[in-house]
Structure 1
Amino acid sequence: MTDVTTGAKPAAELDHWRERLADLPELRLPADRPRLAGHVPATARETFRVPAAAVSGLTALAGEHDGTLFTGLFTALQVLLARYSRQQDLALGTADDRANPLVLRGTVLPQTPFGQLLADNARVVRDALAHRGVPYRQVVQVLGVRAEVGRDPLVQTRILLAGAADGDVLGAAPDDRALPECELSFEFTAADDGGLTAALVYDGALFEAATARRLTRNLLVLLTAALRAPGQPVGELPLIHPEELDTLLHAWGVNRSPYPADRCLHELVGEHALARPDAVAVVHGTTTMTYRELDERADRLARLLLAQGVRPGSFVGVCLPRGPELFAALLAVLRAGCAYLLLDIDYPSDRLSFMLTDTGAAACLTRRELTAKLSAPEARMICLEEHEQDIAAPPAGPPGVPVTSADGAYVIYTSGSTGMPKGTVVTHRAFVRLLRDADYLTLHPDDVSGQGADVTFDAAAFEIWAPLVAGARLVVLDKETLLDPAALTAALERHRLTTLFLTTALFNQVVAADPGAFRGLRHMLFGGEAVNSARVAQVLAAGPPGRLVHLYGPSETTTFATWHLVREADEHTAVPIGGPVANTTVYVLDELLEPVPVGVVGELFIAGPGVAHGYMDRPELTAERFLANPFAGPPDERLYRTGDLVRWSAAGALEYVGRADHQVKIRGYRIEPSEIERVLQQHPDIEAALVVARAEGEHKRLVGYVRPAAGRQTEPAGLRAFVAARLPEFMVPSALVTLAEFPLLPNGKIDRAALPAPERTTGGDGSAPRNGTERVLAVIWAEVLGVPSVGITDNFYELGGDSILGVRVVARAKKAGLSISAKDVFRRQTIAELASVAVSDGN
């Protein structure tokens, strides 16, 4: 690199750059390939031209704002990169006419008019030129940045302009290799016709040639729009070429096909009861129920509901164990013209009562032993064992209540950002759109589909209704089987399952134990959170199922919104979430609801008949998340803003990037940490609380951080019990850390990255293992839980264990020659207890 001077500059000059470039942000451009450690740059070049008319127009516009052609180009490029990176604070590199590197730093706010930003940048440029005598290496040193050989240590993108006729001095010759390399370098040279010849020099190890071409085309579209309307906010300036925009909004984003939009779920199930009455509908253990038995029991239960005073259009709670009785009850609620509210029997009483009260449920179908958990004065408790005579009466046919496909089928609750759970009503039409004539999955009457998800998880609705609507067989898999890879594999073979859905977390654990576990399935579906690509690659290598499908979708858009048929995977490339399922529309938009180009990160918005109308009695939340569709679509169509950040790949598949807020996914469940924080802060000993999800390898767990009230002490086990009495198990932090103060950023916000990792301390009496089995289990627990050692009386769950880690214990025990089940780990939570039932295979 060439320095204009070699001597040390006055401290004031260095202080200027120290202040100007303090906390310099990295420009996070969306690369096509991962930035692997130690990767070798591969220089590539994309040439283009800036027409003479655009050059003269930009020169004139810049002159009106005390700038030059360089300032105009810098401003256009700055806006382009801000839109590409979703960043507002940007630093770009350049060089003066003697090839001395300089850094130009500025702020791009979406609402700033282009002309105003150009004027602001004219001052930035003048400021940089006024201090260009400071050697670049001294700037780097004073900032304390570690430099890589040949790479620019401060910036990732550079702009150069050579041969301009208006006095610009920021223009090292584009072929001057004295400058350090950047990921992207936009290099402009004045041409004889008044235009500019230009080249985008880029790191081919990170970016595809198609991406480079798209960048240059986007820059020209943006520049043309800015010259046409310099008073327009930069966030609203067109960026995408019309051809690309048509692809994004229509070819890739819209998926419409015929489906029976006027049909209801219970009608479709009833058709199979007429056509194939003796076909098995449900299997649970040794119990089976045919379609005729399911249909007739549902009819009698529906009549019972109406006889008990439940009116069509009401919400009806259903709190029953998973099995044939539950499914018949759900079908009955629909035939009575009502919408069901599924209640998990393992939920805390407070949670169940809240949901019954919040929906205004008219009744609840349950059993006598569960009524103690169901406190809801206005909901009539209908205990099935008290009405066995009515339920067993001769068939009388359906009650004949008129139901339309626009009526609610069920209400599902999700964690709420306000600290309270929120309910969403799903219509018959929304669910029929998901199940009938679908592209991601086609079930036939000879299919056998597993049902293992907790009933309040939105995928459970899919697991229940997909086979029943298709006339297929539904097999209930108990939790212990689902969490034990060996037991699950045996169940798949025993029941000859053809179709299975697993959350991503569970999918990863099963594959880790047996990559070939799914090879006998026709359809293996998984989703719910970011997937480990290496696990997917293992499945493909071990002999994949007929179809391996990666699914994505929020509850507010009826379970699944996008899908991707997985044919290949490698550990360095994310598995896409694909494109929209049938009769769904997706958009990737920026903060001003403008479409973003291919490869650029934006927020995912979903439209179509699967989108709910909003949240029950939550008008503010509804207005925040459900928006009028500004694009061409059916009248009154709504967009649901997911809060998920995604981008389109060059192949037209959506890739999941992360969240735009603090919402997290744990074992497929969507969790708003603020809801857990609200419960923690209700404890009298706690003044403030913060909850985050910490990743440990491919496993994630919730960690709570609490600040005690003045003069109070905290005890983690007691706090966990307090939370467990009010929230579902998957929302209870596995660890709680007490802090005197939360770490803060300079702007006063909490610095989540600085929160300390929880210490995993044992809670038992430290008793050492007494025999070989206990010693093996102690080693396994320590490895799985990430602790130095474990005593035989330490509790697995108090040390941070959960059901997914329990699967790891089972798998590692099997490799060590010990036979235990996931049920054993759940029921016997200390090594002393677990060792008493562990069976050695004799090896």
Structure 2
Amino acid sequence: MANPIDTDHSSSRHDRSTCLFPSSSTDEAAEGRRWIESELISAGDSIATDVTSRAIAATIQAAWALTLQCFIVADVLCFGYSGPSGASADAADKHDAGTFATLYVMKLDRSEPVRSFIQRLQQTHQSSLTTTGPAGFEITLVEADTDQHKSNTAISFNVGEEEVRNGTATRFAHQEIDLSVIITKLPDNGLRVQLDYKLSHTDEGMAASVLRTFQHIFNQILTAPATLLIHNVNLCPSWDRQHIQKFTSNVSPVKRECLHDLIVDTCKQRPDQIAIRSWDGDMTYGELDDLSSRLASHLVQLGVRPETFVLSCFEKSTWAIVARLAILRAGGAYISIHASNPPIYLESVINRTKTSILLTDSHFVNQFRNTVPTVVELSPEWLRSLPATTKFPICPDIQPDNACLVLFTSGSTGTPKGIVQIHSSYVTAIQDYSRNLKLGAHTRFLQFDDYAFDISNLEFLVPLIIGGTACVPAPMRTVEDLASQIRILDANTIFLTPTVAIRLNPSDVPGLKLMCVGGEPLPKDLVRKWASHDTHLVNQYGMGEVAICCAYNDAIAPNTGAVIGRPSCGAIWLVDPASPESLLPIGAVGELIIEGPHLSRGYIDTTALHRSEAGFLKLVPAWRRDIHPHRAPARMYRSGDLGRLAADGRITYLGRKDTILKIDGCRVDALEVEHQARQFLGAADAVVVDLLGIINGKADPSLTAFLYLDAHPASCAPVPRAAPLLADALEDAGVRAKVEEMQRGIAAALPRYMVPTTWVLMSWVPRTASKKIDRKRIHVLGQGFYAGVLEERTKDIEYSQRMRVLPM
């Protein structure tokens, strides 16, 4: 647990800020401290290194600020300081070792020259006044006596040579601070740096990384040319680059094959084996080959060619699999949709893909008669009546670079994003995935997810390519139904979200051997629940822009639920969230950049989505060319996810850097939901959408809308140094009517899982210094509120949430 330094807001123009170095220790009960040290400047170096030099002190402060920027995601940086000279030193004399009198508060302007930044630090140090940079960003030295700013790191200077001789200099650590940088003067003007840390907060690997990074940055900026800007500082030491090179070397070669060819090969090799075990009847590989070829030939007659998009709308059934395979064999790409999606959503998908053919069953055929020009109703009798074909391949023109499927996900303007996947990406990813998880003919994969979601492609394609069995369950409404279907179909492999997995009783599914989970962080309770059961638990990380998955962790422990493991198929890099040109060191908090042959082609129509293609890097960054100079340039994608790379190459997922949320494995853009809700609000009202949950280690996530209604009696102006009042919006009859109106409006435009299930009324809207909505603060406040009302939620809301947990 961090022990923050508190500072007074009155002497700073910065808003309230929290700059806590995150814990990396897995043993919170560990006692004591440890330190590591290194020579910062060699004794006798020609550089003037008097520890009392304000220039050197400011350079050290600047290096520490840039180091913190790597390891902490915060707009405003702050750290304790006990200096060798100036006003801060006088104040420090009045405090015992272990406390700080002052604390630096600053916001970095990445376009500022490093020399200018150091000079401003020096001026602030000398005068104890606020200095302002060219972009208006301030550096402030504040008194440490209240709770306005919080930090758990600090810098101190030891100047006594006797302390150095008798070895007591390292004892000058601030005992209540999690991480302390101690600078000590050596004979002949050398400088030594010690990093002193709490064992309950920081592990040895993280401490070593912080010290390496600090020294690496200090050495650069000590002699920085006048032209060096902050955002051009190299943040990644050579030791880290060498290890990152090893972690990113194992990129799978592209498999230039088509999905349907691999499935047909399996059909020819084992025609009598069960390919599909379903509630509505089993089907052998031979039967699958025959029926899918008949339908594929019919689709070719209807005009399906490579790059033709064909809609597929089915309940869970054997025929949904036949339909999708037939579309692929005809050369087309399938788009799975759900009939419950709002008409405006379906219309957007149809118009943007120029789709003219839809495959469905008797349940939905009438729904689409007037929407899609050609609606093909599948039935066993009709399929068997189609003429058999002797033409193989059915579409000889299909190539591995052609589209195989389009996945529509949340978009921020009310327009869903259509991600185009190609055959070679999926083939490469599936073969790598199957090999890593030891899947094969013994695998019986349950199709749990809705066909419109990306995981359903994994559930369908993987077992048929490796010669296993795709298990299709009957409609399920409860976890008990799920357990029953697993037993009836004898499924041994499944992918679930943690929300569902934690409700499943291991003793109810004794035949389940592999359970992959993803879409949300794994709570400790889930890991403990399955630890003693004969089921291998794998944490899987991915996104729609990547085929199958990006990374997996097959060695899960109760305290490592956020560890997504090592890359699958490609490479994962961690970069500065504000700039992909800056590679970060091991242990730093960065944005995950995905590289590899499993990336999608891109989006269906980037002109309509404006910024969507920005996620794919147009140029290969310089650090990628330097680290792997002989590897061919590859497509790279900015995930928007934050993570941390450990010294063993494993990655920990830390959340989103933007407004993309994940609930039950489904991606929701908060801005899109807000856009729809705002249609029912006044100009002075506000709405903020967030995901709340994972309380006390238990997963119960809820898509939450925070409302500010300007005309409401509880609304008021922001109160300095206070938090807005939060209330259950459904308790007020007038607000409840407004909420119900918004729910209907959102449900008419967006899929059901994107409709908020919790509504909170705010008395005012917290904002940052730049007047933007302070989403981080709202999230923290909301988590506390959500914990208090979790048991009091209205029955209808709980019911709607429960129905989303199990696909219908």
TM-score, length basis structure 2: 0.82
1:291 correspondence with 2:288? no
Structure 2: distance between partners of 1:689 and 1:257: 44
Structure 1: distance between partners of 2:486 and 2:326: 29
Cα deviation, residue 61, structure 1: 14
Structure 1: distance between partners of 2:52 and 2:399: 61
Deviation larger for 728-737 or 468-477: 728-737
Structure 2: distance between partners of 1:121 and 1:660: 29
2:17 is paired with a residue of what secondary structure?
Answer: coil
Q: Answer yes or no: is the 8 Å Cα contact 1:44–1:201 preserved in 2.
A: yes
Taking a change above 3 Å as real, the CA distance of residues 449 and 723 of structure 1, as seen in their structure-2 partners, is same
Structure 2: distance between partners of 1:144 and 1:465: 55
Please list the CA deviations of residues 52-93 of structure 1 after superposition, one character each: whole Å capped at 9, or x if unmatched: 389653759998xxx432222222222222222233432332
Cα deviation, residue 588, structure 1: 0.7
Please list the CA deviations of residues 333-388 of structure 1 after superposition, one character each: whole Å capped at 9, or x if unmatched: 11111111111123223222221111111311124552443377664223336992
Q: Answer yes or no: is the 8 Å Cα contact 2:306–2:402 preserved in 1.
A: no
Among 589, 601, 608, the alignment partner of 2:589 is 601
1:497 correspondence with 2:491? yes
- In structure 2, the residue matched to 1:637 is 634
**Matched residue type, 1:680:** A
Among 400, 405, 415, the alignment partner of 1:410 is 405
Among 555, 561, 583, the alignment partner of 2:544 is 555
**Matched residue type, 2:20:** R
Deviation larger for 707-716 or 677-686: 707-716
Within 5 A, what are the aligned runs for 1:352-363? 352-363=346-357
1:588 correspondence with 2:588? no
1:704 is paired with a residue of what secondary structure?
Answer: strand
Taking a change above 3 Å as real, the CA distance of residues 585 and 144 of structure 1, as seen in their structure-2 partners, is closer
Please list the CA deviations of residues 664-715 of structure 1 after superposition, one character each: whole Å capped at 9, or x if unmatched: 1111101002222222234488965432222263211122345679899844
**Matched residue type, 2:455:** A
Q: Answer yes or no: is the 8 Å Cα contact 2:519–2:665 preserved in 1.
A: yes
- In structure 2, the residue matched to 1:533 is 524
Cα deviation, residue 732, structure 1: 1.4
Cα deviation, residue 33, structure 1: 2.0
- In structure 2, the residue matched to 1:104 is 104
Please list the CA deviations of residues 221-252 of structure 1 after superposition, one character each: whole Å capped at 9, or x if unmatched: 2122223534322333223332321211x222
Taking a change above 3 Å as real, the CA distance of residues 420 and 48 of structure 1, as seen in their structure-2 partners, is same
Structure 2: distance between partners of 1:275 and 1:178: 69
- In structure 1, the residue matched to 2:210 is 215
Taking a change above 3 Å as real, the CA distance of residues 721 and 23 of structure 1, as seen in their structure-2 partners, is closer
2:530 is paired with a residue of what secondary structure?
Answer: helix
**Matched residue type, 1:47:** E
- In structure 1, the residue matched to 2:745 is 722
1:787 correspondence with 2:792? yes
1:677 correspondence with 2:667? no
Please list the CA deviations of residues 527-585 of structure 1 after superposition, one character each: whole Å capped at 9, or x if unmatched: 11111123112211x2232x32110001101131101112x512x44341011112x11
2:192 is paired with a residue of what secondary structure?
Answer: strand
1:626 correspondence with 2:626? no
Q: Answer yes or no: is the 8 Å Cα contact 1:528–1:669 preserved in 2.
A: yes
1:506 is paired with a residue of what secondary structure?
Answer: helix
**Matched residue type, 1:558:** A
Please list the CA deviations of residues 398-435 of structure 1 after superposition, one character each: whole Å capped at 9, or x if unmatched: 42432111110000011012332110101011111121
Q: Which has the higher contact order (CA 8 A, sep 6+)?
A: 2
Structure 2: distance between partners of 1:579 and 1:658: 17
Cα deviation, residue 270, structure 1: 0.5
Cα deviation, residue 739, structure 1: 6.3
RMSD of Structure 2 on Structure 1 (CA): 3.7
1:701 correspondence with 2:687? no
1:20 is paired with a residue of what secondary structure?
Answer: coil
Among 365, 368, 374, the alignment partner of 1:374 is 368
Please list the CA deviations of residues 571-602 of structure 1 after superposition, one character each: whole Å capped at 9, or x if unmatched: x44341011112x1110111222221222110
Structure 2: distance between partners of 1:332 and 1:80: 55
- In structure 1, the residue matched to 2:86 is none
Taking a change above 3 Å as real, the CA distance of residues 129 and 178 of structure 1, as seen in their structure-2 partners, is farther
Q: Answer yes or no: is the 8 Å Cα contact 1:140–1:154 preserved in 2.
A: no
Taking a change above 3 Å as real, the CA distance of residues 450 and 212 of structure 1, as seen in their structure-2 partners, is same
Structure 1: distance between partners of 2:352 and 2:339: 18
Please list the CA deviations of residues 777-824 of structure 1 after superposition, one character each: whole Å capped at 9, or x if unmatched: xxxxx9996228x7xxxxx4x3343354898xxxxxxxxxxxxxx89x
- In structure 2, the residue matched to 1:464 is 460
- In structure 1, the residue matched to 2:80 is 92
**Matched residue type, 1:799:** I
Within 5 A, what are the aligned runs for 1:415-494? 415-438=410-433, 439-480=435-476, 484-494=478-488
Cα deviation, residue 661, structure 1: 1.0
1:241 correspondence with 2:237? yes
Cα deviation, residue 635, structure 1: 4.3
**Matched residue type, 1:695:** G
Structure 2: distance between partners of 1:107 and 1:353: 46
Structure 2: distance between partners of 1:116 and 1:41: 41
- In structure 2, the residue matched to 1:201 is 196
Cα deviation, residue 288, structure 1: 1.0
Structure 1: distance between partners of 2:764 and 2:599: 42
Structure 1: distance between partners of 2:171 and 2:277: 74
Taking a change above 3 Å as real, the CA distance of residues 519 and 42 of structure 1, as seen in their structure-2 partners, is farther
State the aligned residue count: 732
Cα deviation, residue 51, structure 1: 2.8
Among 52, 57, 77, the alignment partner of 1:70 is 57
- In structure 1, the residue matched to 2:264 is 270
- In structure 2, the residue matched to 1:30 is 22
Cα deviation, residue 192, structure 1: 1.8
Cα deviation, residue 174, structure 1: 3.8
Cα deviation, residue 609, structure 1: 0.9
- In structure 1, the residue matched to 2:324 is 330
Q: Answer yes or no: is the 8 Å Cα contact 2:209–2:587 preserved in 1.
A: no
**Matched residue type, 1:57:** I
Among 291, 300, 305, the alignment partner of 1:306 is 300
Taking a change above 3 Å as real, the CA distance of residues 719 and 155 of structure 1, as seen in their structure-2 partners, is closer
2:446 is paired with a residue of what secondary structure?
Answer: strand
2:799 is paired with a residue of what secondary structure?
Answer: coil
2:399 is paired with a residue of what secondary structure?
Answer: coil
2:583 is paired with a residue of what secondary structure?
Answer: coil
Q: Percent identity?
A: 24
**Matched residue type, 2:549:** F
Structure 1: distance between partners of 2:639 and 2:158: 45
**Matched residue type, 1:699:** D
**Matched residue type, 1:106:** M
1:444 is paired with a residue of what secondary structure?
Answer: coil
Taking a change above 3 Å as real, the CA distance of residues 270 and 783 of structure 1, as seen in their structure-2 partners, is farther
Among 169, 177, 182, the alignment partner of 1:182 is 177
**Matched residue type, 1:603:** E
Structure 2: distance between partners of 1:544 and 1:110: 52
Structure 2: distance between partners of 1:313 and 1:62: 69
Q: Answer yes or no: is the 8 Å Cα contact 2:212–2:237 preserved in 1.
A: yes
**Matched residue type, 2:324:** L
Cα deviation, residue 213, structure 1: 2.5
**Matched residue type, 1:227:** L
Structure 2: distance between partners of 1:374 and 1:430: 31
TM-score, length basis structure 1: 0.79
Within 5 A, what are the aligned runs for 1:132-211? 139-141=143-145, 143=146, 155-163=151-159, 174=169, 181-211=176-206
Taking a change above 3 Å as real, the CA distance of residues 393 and 786 of structure 1, as seen in their structure-2 partners, is same
Q: Answer yes or no: is the 8 Å Cα contact 1:318–1:343 preserved in 2.
A: yes
Cα deviation, residue 650, structure 1: 2.9
Q: Answer yes or no: is the 8 Å Cα contact 1:83–1:235 preserved in 2.
A: no
Q: Answer yes or no: is the 8 Å Cα contact 1:500–1:523 preserved in 2.
A: yes
1:655 correspondence with 2:631? no
Structure 1: distance between partners of 2:764 and 2:81: 39
**Matched residue type, 1:704:** A
